[in-house]
Structure 1
């Protein structure tokens, strides 16, 4: 059930250059059922900025009543969010969207999780669930440079983890796809989140595999009412899907990756 709640900030810290880990506590945590969902955050108590910011959920712990978000400080909204302090309360709506499919059918299967930049966070909660289901998660995490890398150790604690950087300052030089090729990674199912160019490359490279892609997109309402985040359906010029309510996770080929 979607809730609107003033969540308590219990932890807020910078974990890489302009990357922040924000942990809330509140009843909303119990409503999060699927990794890959997101929340819509009111970054300031003031009237400006008007629109909320969508932030993917890195981890939800219903028992502890906590929700952990990881976001990048970039524009005005996320800069205001980065200034919020432990002990403050933040207006949050969620959980929103449809997350990654993960059930008992994945037990014993090798699952590849590919994340690019700020697309990495939702894969963390997914990997924890896959591990609990008895799957074998393997992680490929792509970043621009060494100072942008985060959660490498957290992923390593769950399963095999590879890191790439565009400039080669740490890990393997190149992109996520370079790691998959270099180490000849085999898998049954692929889950990915990151820049659309990365998602397109993975979709084209593995047409015979079961592939799920989580899209990053600017949003207005976050609940499917404003049509600000639509993607076209292949072969149907009038067909579309809403990233916020139909997604953000889609099976490869379900939408045109140009939104």
Structure 2
């Protein structure tokens, strides 16, 4: 999927910080923005993957855990020293487990809340002064359709993503006076190498998530939507974008073809 670009020459003066950059949608977003001429700071925990991505794309790799205050402070200092950024793209997140609430694993819930909610809050809080000072700053949060409708076995992920969705809406209200653009992109079923595997911990179980779905979204599909949203002229705010494969009319309505 390729969406039309907007004023690619202007991208030469644009700088984005992208979290979750070592895999999946985060990695694809780094590639999409770098290809469009953006300067990109690629942020994730796995330094080896980031170094390879930086070599391939020209992005600046920065290994950090966004749930750790010291890592966030070090990232902010590095970006500041390099001239700052006008766009923060929060993609780091994820799901663990598919248990019912009656069988909920406290460690899974704790991890999901820390990464999806507290991590997003910490890095956003740190970069807000820089984005305000820029005068035309943008924050884009990648949530999920799990933030819009609950489903059985999704309680922990629903709770984390509903919270991230609410935080995004609050941020938009709080920062509009600073001309800060706040965007939410909520993908449905996206096929990536790690999301379902990390959630379920088993390759066979992960494969069943996508079984029979002819064309799930890809990481590149979502990255193209993210790039489009942040590349529009700054006065245009796409408050909320829900993006699903055609086969998925709702979280509970997914067409699978017989194999």
- State the TM-score, normalized to the length of structure 2: 0.38
**Higher RCO (CA 8 Å, separation ≥ 6 residues):** 2
**Where is the helix percentage greater, Structure 1 or Structure 2?**
2
